[in-house]
Structure 1
């Protein structure tokens, strides 16, 4: 397969760099690195502070050049909205002018509406990966765009959720680098990791660990300080410890040294990257069966329980810790590997690039 010139558009809100703010940033970082390692040319459009080792172009989020009269107008939205709007408008105009013939395909991972709404202004085919449930701004962009591009979703669940707006959507499950996320020996404790926000439900993991009589460690960025102060911090100590926001190497060690990973979403997870990462470390998972998680977890590597059922989660801990760690690792290798994901994306890129070449030949 020929080498391709790929542009990746990331979210502007957080840098694509370690320690990652969330699964989206980790996903884009690993995808960029894997594509480069496979011999493709990759340019990453990302927010300030992104990894300098990647070939990055800045999504320049800064105060929009507005007059005092415009800022004081009754229709003026929140400042952060205008900053993001201006940054993505500038990016899409650059892609249509300065980079008109620079890429074979543009792969959009941002959650902003403008890359979709302005796809028809580009000569380059655009693939947008849907990482979230339907949002009003993105649905509107799809409906308004005369040619909004092609869409992929991170799970069958997410593809089905978007079908009414985006039609038939390709499914490319997120993958993890199973060379980096290596199998660990396990241990006598539980682990919960991810962004510390209400919708991730770390307080449920604490309640289940206490009920099971097992120590628990938490890891991840404190993205909602009020939630952390009210629900998490008072529970620390007495066999519950917060390890902080870890870089990947330290997180791999922490997960690999744990008996079971707890996954407690309070919303329908579009995919469930922490499940895949845990399995790659050989760590079985006890999880609420929401969103895309049931597509990853099978009975030989974890247990699914009804959402918000702490008692069922507690019972699942005892069952999950008896599971074979090699089976958890095998599931990650067969279903959740980065290689599998990247190969599928390259197939889509090549198909889209060839389609444009064929159309150009017909037009001439």
Structure 2
């Protein structure tokens, strides 16, 4: 580390940290907090009211300053269409977060934005302190595409993303810093001898394609454990009506300790996204437990899974492909899965990548 940086992270405005409403970006924020504080940086985070960092699990981030910002949560971008105009809800937590950031900006070397929204991108020009924008999803709206392109032109080098697959969804000609993701490997126990169950992790929402995993479980009569935030009850009810004989069990949204205790005992994780996943943190959580992943060859998972070694990549939307891959899970060496997680997705590696990016932005500004 060249020097200690004072950093303000501005979290996603769609839900409090720890609620599950923010999806994978919540895990990224908390793990980045851990990685940066381990490297000696002073980090504060402005997050929606009722946020918590699970400090009893992530012991390295006890000294982090968590600023609770009140206000109305922002709707999720993936539930809207490409032509949806830029909107701002009344007393928006997003606006309140950035009002706060503007007031305190001179106390920090850099501000890091995790909101997938046009407002922080637009406001960048009005800040004296540089802002790094970590874009957590692929292209979903024309408004965001334009806002991202404008920031790219005015503040080159300030756009970060998970994967090449993700950035390929945006207009060509943009320069991105690819940062991947990571987890605290000490929180995930390796299991060499699994049971017969499969597991599916994620927000229960149409773009996650849970119904394909359920269909595959029903066809193979393999027990399926489902964990994640119930975001769309009507969608979940329809799955239950459509597959009444599927051997599935919904365990709710759980913390990391409970999640890994369930996942590690399963023979495989199913990932069935209908959209281009920017990354897929659940994949590396499974790998850390030694659990191979069966995923559609779409989005971030296609860059994570080593086909035939740490899981199987399947033709998108093919339940037949899922079934065939489930039947081959026993051929995967579970130790290779854990080994990939340790080699590619550790917190020290994540901290180094982000630190290098931050230093470049500060020097260029």
Structure 2-normalised TM-score? 0.86
Q: CA deviation at 1:208?
A: 0.8
**Given that residues 166 and 300 in structure 2 are in contact (C-alpha distance below 8 angstroms), is that contact kept between their aligned partners in structure 1?**
yes
Q: Of 301, 323, 342, which aligns to 2:351?
A: 342
- Which sits farther off after the overlay, 13-22 or 220-229? 13-22
| Cα distance in 1 for residues equivalent to 2:321 and 2:100 | 52
Q: Please tell me whether residue 307 in structure 1 is matched to residue 313 in structure 2.
A: no
Matched-pair contact (CA < 8 Å) for 1:218–1:241: yes
**After TM superposition, what 4+ stretches of structure 1 lie above 6 angstroms from structure 2?**
none
Aligned to 1:328: 337
Which of 45, 69, 73 is the aligned partner of 1:59?
69
Task: Please say if residues 303 and 316 of structure 1, whose CA atoms lie closer than 8 Å, have aligned partners that are also in contact.
Answer: yes
Q: 1:322 Cα deviation (Å)?
A: 2.1
Partner of 2:34: 33
In the alignment, which residue of structure 2 is the partner of 1:46?
A: 47
Summarize deviations over 1:198-256 as a string: whole Å, max 9, x none: 11111111111222231111111110010011113664676311111111101011110
Does residue 179 in structure 1 map to residue 189 in structure 2? no
CA contact (8 A) 1:290 1:307 kept: yes
Per the alignment, in what secondary structure is the counterpart of residue 134 of structure 2?
Answer: strand
SS at match of 2:107: coil
Shift of 1:121: 1.2
- Provide the C-alpha distance between the structure 2 equivalents of 1:236 and 1:81, rounded to a whole number of angstroms: 41
Residue in 1 aligned with 2:279?
271
> What CA RMSD, in Å, does the superposition of the two structures yield over aligned residues?
2.4
Structure 1 SS opposite 2:283: helix
The CA deviation string for residues 111-146 of structure 1, in whole angstroms up to 9 with x for no partner, is: 121111111111211111111111323223234557
SS of 1:257 mapped into structure 2: coil
1:218 paired residue number: 226
For structure 2, the 5+ residue unaligned runs are 56-63, 74-83
Q: Among 113, 117, 129, which residue is 2:134 paired with? A: 129
1:83 aligns with 2:83: no
1:23 maps to 2:24: yes
Deviations 1:65-93 (A, max 9, x none): xxxxxxxxxxxx99x83236x44334334
Counterpart CA distance in 2 for 1:241 and 1:219 is 9
In the alignment, structure 1 segments of 5+ residues that lack a partner are 64-76, 357-364
State the number of aligned residues: 340
Show CA shifts across 1:316-347 (max 9, x none).
01112321110011111122223222210011
Structure 1 position 161 matched with structure 2 position 175? no
More deviation in 217-226 or 173-182?
173-182
Secondary structure of the residue aligned to 2:226 is: strand
State the Cα distance separating 1:173 from its structure 2 match: 0.6
Indicate conservation of the 8 Å contact 1:203/1:232, yes or no: no
Match of 2:258 in 1: 250
Q: 1:236 to 1:33 in 2, by over 3 A?
A: farther
Work out whether residues 158 and 270 of structure 1, in 8 Å CA contact, stay in contact via their aligned partners in 2. Answer: yes
TM-score (norm 1): 0.86
Please name the residue that 1:73 is paired with: none
CA contact (8 A) 1:153 1:172 kept: yes
The answer to whether 1:103 aligns with 2:108 is yes
Deviation at 1:355, TM superposition (A): 3.2
Shift of 1:309: 0.5
Query: What do the CA deviations read for 1:23-56 (whole angstroms, capped 9, x no partner)?
Result: 1112112212322232211111111111165422
Contact 2:221 2:247 in 1 (8 A): no
Question: How far apart are the structure 1 equivalents of 2:179 and 2:38?
Answer: 20
